[in-house]
């Protein structure tokens, strides 16, 4: 199955990183507070980064690596050529 790593810009301007095999469904879960506990205190504003082509294992490893990045480096990912967020209609 094709897994994606994604980053969501939140209402408090924080960046949430996660993985899913259906990013659109997962974003909607976050919006309805059925996703991660992180969204109990804030709202997801926009899907700003998607990286495709992973299996579950590689997506988890990439998610962990992205979460360790400083905010500036995460923001640089958003401008990267391999960012496929525009391909996902929410």
* CATH no. of 3-87: 3.40.1440.10
Give the three-state DSSP class for 10.
Answer: strand
pLDDT at 69 over 80: yes
**Average pLDDT value over all residues in the chain:** 93
Q: For 16-79, give the DSSP string.
A: EEEEES-HHHHHHHHHTT-S-GGGGSS-EEEEEEEEEEE-HHHHHHHHHHHHTS-HHHHHHHHT
For 28-54, the pLDDT digits (tens) are 999 998 888 999 889 999 999 999 999
What is the pLDDT at residue 47? 96
What is the pLDDT at residue 86? 87
Domain ranges of the chain: 3-87
> Cα–Cα–Cα angle for 81, 29, 83, nearest 5°?
0
pTM over 0.75: yes
């Amino acid at each position: 199955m094709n897994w994606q790593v994604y980053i969501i810009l939140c209402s408090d301007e924080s960046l949430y990183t996660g993985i899913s095999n259906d990013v659109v469904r997962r974003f909607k879960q976050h919006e309805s507070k059925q996703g991660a506990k992180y969204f109990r205190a804030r709202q997801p504003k926009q899907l700003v980064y998607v990286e495709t082509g992973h299996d579950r294992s590689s997506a988890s490893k990439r998610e962990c690596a992205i979460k360790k990045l400083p905010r500036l480096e995460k923001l640089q990912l958003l401008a990267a050529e391999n960012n496929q967020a525009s391909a996902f209609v929410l």
